[in-house]
């Protein structure tokens, strides 16, 4: 119980699972959060991991998780806000309920979890790791809800970091590019999207190509896990870590005027 403990949301598969396993192997205690019993049972079989039922959209789950940790008297050094979903499609076809669902998980869920565990993190002068995305600074067509939620997360994280400057709690943002995780299986289902806009077929074509690239060229989730582990242990972590096979495109996007980036995106759309 004298080890440092880290809580990770969305730890059932992909990046969250890789983070939980790597961080536990490095000597941390890990509260690995998931919603389904089968995932929790699987996580419980890994040394150093304590499975914890937590749906980030459920305030009661958050409260119960906090009580559980307090009763164990382990404290909490790190929080990895990893849970997230992706809603895609032409914005004109996105319903209010779908947009609400996107923000309920990717922003309000992060806020709900962070508010719950911040007192413990302040006690330990710990760290908060936010799982953002390259979509948090580069908005692409037909993934508007997801991009909007990650842009919002970036602003939320900056404000939180500055509010905590005098508390000793560090806030670090991770910006993964294309990662080979089960999210592409879920994204494939999104490609069955229905809509009446003139953009729907173009959105499907681009989506099919994105899924193919994600499965074949994405970095392994362990690459992100290693960056998260570094963000939790490095004495002076960077404010942001962009993790991608190549960062050249991103550097260009950040340097060029928005009109030039739009021209690049238009050329890519015309290719389809």
Which residues are annotated as catalytic? 146
- Classify residue 131 as exposed, middle or buried by CB count within 10 Å of its CB (0-12, 13-18, 19+): buried
**What is the distance between the alpha carbons of residues 168 and 122, in angstroms, rounded to a whole number?**
7
Tokens 């000597």, located at residue: 27
Q: How many CB atoms lie within 10 A of CB 1?
A: 8
SS (H, E, C) the chain: CCCCEEEECCCCCHHHHHHHHHHHHCCCEEEEEECCHHHHHHHHCCCCEEEEECCCCCHHHHHHHHHHHHHHCCCCCEEEECCCCCCCECHHHCCHHHHHHHHHHHHHHHHHHHHHHHHHHHHHCCEEEEECCHHHCCCCCCEHHHHHHHHHHHHHHHHHHHHCCCCCCEEEEEEECCECCCHHHHHHHHCCCCCCCCCHHHHHHHHHHHHHHHHHHCECHHHHHHHHHHHHHCCCCCCEEEECCCCHHHHHHHHCCHHHHHHHHHHHHHHC
């Amino acid at each position: 119980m004298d080890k440092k403990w880290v809580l990770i949301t969305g730890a059932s598969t992909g990046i969250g699972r890789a983070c939980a396993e790597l961080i536990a192997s490095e000597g941390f205690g890990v509260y690995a959060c998931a919603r389904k019993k089968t995932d929790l049972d699987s996580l419980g079989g890994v040394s150093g991991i304590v499975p914890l039922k937590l749906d980030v959209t459920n305030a009661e789950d958050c409260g119960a998780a906090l009580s559980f940790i307090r009763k164990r008297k382990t404290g909490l050094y790190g929080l990895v806000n990893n849970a997230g979903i992706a809603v895609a499609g032409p914005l004109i076809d996105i319903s209010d309920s779908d947009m609400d669902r996107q923000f309920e998980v990717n922003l309000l869920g992060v806020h709900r979890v962070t508010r719950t565990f911040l007192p413990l993190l302040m006690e330990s002068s710990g760290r908060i790791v936010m799982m953002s995305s390259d979509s948090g600074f580069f908005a692409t067509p037909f993934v508007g809800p997801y991009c909007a939620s990650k842009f919002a997360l970036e602003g939320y994280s900056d404000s939180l970091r500055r509010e905590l400057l005098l508390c000793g709690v560090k806030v670090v943002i991770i910006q993964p590019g294309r990662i080979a995780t089960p999210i592409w299986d879920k994204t494939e289902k999104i490609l069955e999207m229905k809509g009446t806009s003139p953009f729907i077929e173009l959105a499907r074509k681009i989506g099919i190509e994105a899924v193919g690239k994600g499965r074949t060229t994405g970095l392994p989730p362990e690459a992100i896990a290693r960056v998260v582990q570094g963000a939790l242990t490095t004495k002076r972590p960077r404010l942001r870590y962009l993790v991608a096979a190549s960062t050249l495109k991103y550097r260009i996007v950040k340097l060029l005027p928005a009109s030039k980036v739009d021209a690049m995106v238009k050329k890519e759309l015309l290719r389809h």
